[in-house]
Chains A and B, each alone.
Chain A
């Protein structure tokens, strides 16, 4: 059944890559895939200027979140969750802020310096910038 659903998804829905976006204060225009993974797995917690990284993610059951995890991080959502639990319950890290939808993510990205998140389609605006993944 799962394979059938996956096949339907592949045939019917064009898979758009997610776009990584950050608050305009973030001193980076591009990140390597390894850096992006380091950030979302709470290994790198600061931007190059020393300011804290603030991660914003959608809920686990969001198809955009699932696609972001697979395509950009090469991880499954449960793996990320387990890493976040491990870091936050051992006191060595802080769980990312979870939001319900893209509108809430954009709202936080506009107001939180150091914030990083992702969207399906980026529309240029002054407070948020796109980050290239190389």
Chain B
């Protein structure tokens, strides 16, 4: 979305709602975060590997009550994450929320428009610095290059909730599509590509159970997305279609002083075309993470994550990948494993400081994924240091 349109939307939003309606019907909040990040020996943040200030996140969101059962909600953000995702403004969500049933034990809501992905543990809050557990989320599940595709969907969604002596059950379903900009397409497929990528559909469903008797919660997620690539008139690549089917299991344990969360996923990516018209490939990627958070005090939190991702479960060390490409793509592009440690300090209710370090082995989750940037990512081992100051208002 271009900046002018984004500014117009944001201004219209606030002109309409901040002055003309009763304060009780409209609520808004925002966040601003700036940090420093360094990812030497990789193009994860920038091409130089030097310390960068490309860790900027600004956001403003609001929710307006149109009628007792209808709300309108929206969020605009500005991001600068270097190579992690395209720089600029975005409309993260803008949707109508219809509370079609709201009783003591059962509730159901439908969402129309661009709504947030409610299916993964941190998908709803990955774009808000204060609400995600670390500056960089585990890439096996929260792949930065897919950020804009995974944050929200244009379409329709349903959430049904039930509660009883067995605990709380939440079912989510969504169907729609996501616009893919040319910049995003190049980031995913390769900077030299000249064609356009279009998502045909994105279909997700998830079920979460939180037991009343224990501190565990569990979830299962299934999703399918299909994309088409239309080649540019001057390039040698072919038209292509990509299908991604993912199954994910999640679990979380929350105690007074610590929290353990884990998400495991298997993703089947089918490619038809692209390199050649008759080219077909089906890859079973696998990954997952385990994150431990310890609440040292009300203000200080320590965390560590082990993250594991392989592009093809039958080629966990990337040897086939290297052989198939005649050595053009090194084996370490077949996986990416990370150990992360960090801490966050709440300076007061509005300010937080996060610091973390990631030790990474492999380059399988570095964009672009279809045609990797071998020249810039010439090291199997690399690290990320990140420090971010966050403010909410």
| Chain A positions near chain B (C-beta within 8 angstroms) | 2, 31-32, 34-35, 37-38, 41, 43-46, 48, 50-52, 60-61, 74, 76, 78-79, 82, 85-86, 88-95
* B295 close to A50 (CB less than 8 A): no
Residues of B with C-beta under 8 A to A46: 68, 99, 102
The reply to whether the CB of B12 lies closer than 8 angstroms to some CB of chain A is no
Residues of B with C-beta under 8 A to A44: 102-104, 107
* A43 close to B254 (CB less than 8 A): no
Given A43-B107, A44-B102, A85-B128, A91 and B116 contact (CB-CB distance below 8 Å): yes
User: Would you give the shortest CB distance from B114 to chain A, in whole angstroms?
Assistant: 10
Counted as pairs of residues, one from A and one from B, with CB atoms less than 8 Å apart, the total is 96
User: Would you give the shortest CB distance from B228 to chain A, in whole angstroms?
Assistant: 29
* A45 close to B102 (CB less than 8 A): yes
Q: Which of B63, B68, B118 has the most CB of A within 10 A?
A: B63
Which of B104, B125, B295 is in CB contact (< 8 Å) with A78?
B295
User: Which candidate, B158-166, B234-242, B358-366, is the interface stretch facing chain A?
Assistant: B158-166
6 contacting pairs across A/B (C-beta < 8 A): A34-B104, A35-B104, A76-B254, A76-B255, A88-B29, A92-B109
* B75 close to A85 (CB less than 8 A): no
The reply to whether the CB of B171 lies closer than 8 angstroms to some CB of chain A is no
* B131 close to A86 (CB less than 8 A): yes
Residues of A with C-beta under 8 A to B111: 92
Residues of B with C-beta under 8 A to A88: 27, 29, 63
* A32 close to B104 (CB less than 8 A): yes
User: Would you give the shortest CB distance from A59 to chain B, in whole angstroms?
Assistant: 8
The reply to whether the CB of B61 lies closer than 8 angstroms to some CB of chain A is yes
The reply to whether the CB of B5 lies closer than 8 angstroms to some CB of chain A is no
**What is the bound-complex CA distance between A46 and B103, given in angstroms?**
7
* B125 close to A90 (CB less than 8 A): yes
Given A45-B102, A46-B102, A85-B131, A37 and B163 contact (CB-CB distance below 8 Å): yes
Given A35-B104, A46-B68, A94-B27, A89 and B125 contact (CB-CB distance below 8 Å): yes
* A91 close to B93 (CB less than 8 A): yes
User: Would you give the shortest CB distance from B17 to chain A, in whole angstroms?
Assistant: 13
* B73 close to A92 (CB less than 8 A): yes
Residues of A with C-beta under 8 A to B116: 90-92
**Main DSSP-derived SS at the A contact region:** loop
**What is the bound-complex CA distance between A74 and B118, given in angstroms?**
24
Given A86-B131, A89-B124, A91-B97, A34 and B102 contact (CB-CB distance below 8 Å): no
* A34 close to B27 (CB less than 8 A): no
**What is the bound-complex CA distance between A95 and B111, given in angstroms?**
19
Residues of A with C-beta under 8 A to B71: 91
- Kindly list the 7 A-B residue pairs having the minimum CB-CB distance in the complex, ordered from nearest: A91-B73, A90-B124, A85-B131, A90-B116, A46-B102, A89-B128, A35-B104
* B68 close to A89 (CB less than 8 A): no
The reply to whether the CB of B130 lies closer than 8 angstroms to some CB of chain A is yes
Residues of B with C-beta under 8 A to A79: 254
* B131 close to A82 (CB less than 8 A): yes
The reply to whether the CB of B138 lies closer than 8 angstroms to some CB of chain A is no
Residues of B with C-beta under 8 A to A51: 68
The reply to whether the CB of B192 lies closer than 8 angstroms to some CB of chain A is no
**What is the bound-complex CA distance between A90 and B115, given in angstroms?**
8
Given A34-B105, A94-B27, A86 and B124 contact (CB-CB distance below 8 Å): yes
**What is the bound-complex CA distance between A92 and B159, given in angstroms?**
10
The reply to whether the CB of B278 lies closer than 8 angstroms to some CB of chain A is no
* A86 close to B125 (CB less than 8 A): yes
Contact with A along B157-184 (1 / 0, CB 8 A): 0010101110010000000000000000
User: Would you give the shortest CB distance from A2 to chain B, in whole angstroms?
Assistant: 8
Given A43-B107, A43-B168, A46-B99, A89 and B131 contact (CB-CB distance below 8 Å): yes
**What is the bound-complex CA distance between A44 and B68, given in angstroms?**
13
User: Would you give the shortest CB distance from A132 to chain B, in whole angstroms?
Assistant: 15
* B107 close to A34 (CB less than 8 A): no
Residues of A with C-beta under 8 A to B68: 46, 50-52
Q: Which of A34, A48, A92, A93 has the most CB of B within 10 A?
A: A92
* B63 close to A91 (CB less than 8 A): yes
User: Would you give the shortest CB distance from B57 to chain A, in whole angstroms?
Assistant: 12
Which of B63, B124, B298 is in CB contact (< 8 Å) with A94?
B63
Contact with A along B120-161 (1 / 0, CB 8 A): 000011001011000000000000000000000000000101
Q: Which of B27, B95, B109, B163 has the most CB of A within 10 A?
A: B163
